[in-house]
Amino acid sequence: MTEPSRSDTPDLQTNPPAAPRKRRPPRRVEVSRVQILSPAMRRITLTGAELQGFEVSDPASYMKLIFPEPGQLEPERPLPDGPRAKSMRTYTPLAVRPVVCEIDVDFVLHGEGPASSWAAQAQVGQVLFLMGPGPGYKLPADAPAYLLIGDDSALPAFETILASLSDTATVQVIMEVTGSAEERALPDAPHSAVQWVVRGLDNTQAGQALEAALRQSPPPAADTRIYVACEASAMRRIRQLLTGELGVDPSQITGRGYWKLGNVNHPDHDYGDDS
Ligand SMILES: Cc1cc2nc3c(=O)[nH]c(=O)nc-3n(C[C@H](O)[C@H](O)[C@H](O)COP(=O)(O)OP(=O)(O)OC[C@H]3O[C@@H](n4cnc5c(N)ncnc54)[C@H](O)[C@@H]3O)c2cc1C
């Protein structure tokens, strides 16, 4: 039997095993308002005293929402270090109003799925549990230009990014939605241009309208920071289009797979670095 080589042996002095990540305690929240923004988008306001201390420092941060299982009126409160709830999904805290303990969340109604189905029937007084927040997009301090490429699931994240940009930054947004009735006003950024492109109802086409629009735009300049958030395979294709045909340096790109065609509960940390 051969001895493990030096490089196979964990170096416990310089690389001690990571301490288990401590989960923040779940917070019980109630629906206090439901707004129909468009045929496929609901804005739901969640309220509750347990939101005290919930703070978000970066745009495009995320949180976990736990939905009731079939037959439950409200989800069970998860134990801090217990098993993960089956009906837990990832959402963007769109607007956080700490003084009144409120958060707005925009839900895409895409069809089947515990989160989308729940949002389609949401009513004032219904209960969810919320965990987080998780980290968001660290805006590079002095970037003069941004390009945001994404689909409707990333509309809330893009709103938070637009609201955080400096007055001097220019920003181009390419946003894919299922139909033109989904278009809406986004936060005013002084030098912004928003292009809406339509996917239609066939989700197997996800990302194709984004790729076509990108090919028709001038290639991004070397000082443009690019944020891509959409269906996971589309995000990878867009990364490849940017770094291949369009000659963008990979360091300019931040990628996020927000959902994956045919997969339930796509993970919250799919960055597409493998593409
Ligand atoms: C960091 C982060 C932030 C996010 N923020 C938001 C947000 O603010 N608002 C929002 O609406 N979504 C957001 N998402 C996406 C959301 O987490 C997923 O869409 C999630 O899968 C929805 O759960 P579900 O229970 O409805 O469907 P699931 O049970 O997860 O999936 C069921 C089926 O629906 C399909 N599906 C899932 N999502 C979509 C979609 N958007 N469009 C078309 N088909 C879909 C899946 O491929 C699967 O076949 C975010 C994701 C991440 C990673």
Both tokens of 205, joined, read 């086409």
> Are 37 and 152 in contact, with CB atoms under 8 Å apart?
no
Contact residues for 12 (Cβ-Cβ < 8 A; gap 6+): none
For residue 258, the CA-to-ligand 1 centroid distance in Å is 6
Q: Which residue has its alpha carbon closest to ligand 1 atom 40?
A: 110
Secondary structure of the chain: what % helix, strand, coil (to 5)?
Answer: 20, 30, 50
Pocket mutation for ligand 1, best pick of 44, 69, 153, 201 (most atoms within 8 Å of C-beta): 153
Q: Which residue has its alpha carbon closest to ligand 1 atom 23?
A: 115
Q: Which residue has its alpha carbon closest to ligand 1 atom 45?
A: 110
For the segment 223-252, the average pLDDT, to the nearest whole number, is 97
Q: Which residue has its alpha carbon closest to ligand 1 atom 15?
A: 258
Q: What is the pLDDT of residue 125?
A: 98
- The burial of 125, by beta-carbon neighbours within 10 Å (0-12 exposed, 13-18 middle, 19 or more buried), is given as exposed
Please say if the pLDDT value at position 13 is more than 70: no
Nearest CA to 175 out of 163, 166, 184 is that of: 184
SS3 category, 275: coil
Please say if the pLDDT value at position 237 is more than 60: yes
DSSP element (H, E) containing 34: strand 27-38
Answer whether 254 contacts ligand 1 (Cβ < 6 A): no
> How far, CA to CA in Å, does 64 sit from each of 3, 27, 184?
45, 10, 26
Contact residues for 80 (Cβ-Cβ < 8 A; gap 6+): 23, 25, 26
Answer whether 195 contacts ligand 1 (Cβ < 6 A): no
Q: What is the pLDDT of residue 10?
A: 38
**pLDDT one-digit tens code per residue, 38-82:** 999 999 999 999 999 999 999 999 999 999 999 999 999 998 778
Answer whether 118 contacts ligand 1 (Cβ < 6 A): no
For residue 22, the CA-to-ligand 1 centroid distance in Å is 25
> Could you give the domains of the chain?
27-134 (2.40.30.10), 145-259 (3.40.50.80)
Please say if the pLDDT value at position 16 is more than 90: no
Answer whether 112 contacts ligand 1 (Cβ < 6 A): yes
Q: What is the pLDDT of residue 17?
A: 53
Regarding pTM above 0.75, the answer is: yes
